Structure 1
């Protein structure tokens, strides 16, 4: 059974600092963690509308939740020379890559990459 999509990236906070964002997306709900030095915030959402959202709208919704309800506004970092559409396509590909996983410890998410065993 395929796992739920997991989006993870660095974001730039409103004060200029960097933070990591990890989002687990289920068909009608999502759970996100925003973490940087000195804080860790979690946010969740549940709505049938999430099922129909394209990647860009979904990630913008996640950013809006942190900006409005958690008072932690941030901007996604799109690499120089890459269009937003290409960045979103890369995020979607990475979100479904089975080599990436997520672990929870003491209420905090961290992501990992499963390296294939070479013989």
Structure 2
């Protein structure tokens, strides 16, 4: 079983959109923030990460990116759903085995594995 992988769009403080991909391990994470013109990476390690619920974990990632990358952002929650519903969907997608990661030239992209039709 793979580690949970979160991916979503975020809005940077300057108004631009960026993609955020996070690989979560029990006591550490690796995050990639990518937008037109830049790809940056951040990571952190702490035993406290193991016990964090999704909301606190994602807020921690946002804080680390804001400080270490100097790229503050806000999560984009689609209209018509609550933050709690969005967090539940993020967690379900993070564990969905159909989603995978590919790395090329130091950049991570996520993809969906389409089941084969028989």
**1-structure distance, mates of 2:43, 2:94:** 18
Distance 1:61 1:101 in 2: 23
Aligned match of 1:99: 98
Moved over 6 A (4+): none
Rounded to whole Å, the distance in 2 between the matches of 1:32 and 1:104 is 13
Q: Say if 2:37 is the partner of 1:17.
A: no
TM-score by length of 2: 0.99
Aligned-residue CA RMSD in angstroms?
0.5
Displacement after TM superposition at 1:87 (Å): 0.2
Which consecutive unaligned segments of at least 5 residues does structure 1 have?
A: none
Q: Deviation at 1:107?
A: 0.6
Cα deviation, 1:70-102, whole Å, max 9, x if unaligned, reads 110000000111100000000000000000000
CA distance in 2 between partners of 1:94 and 1:45 (Å): 22
- Paired with 1:54 and 1:72, the residues of 2 have a C-alpha distance of 23
Shift of 1:57: 0.3
User: Structure 2: how far apart are the matches of 1:113 and 1:78?
Assistant: 21
In structure 2, the gaps of 5 or more residues are none
- TM-score normalized with structure 1 length: 0.98
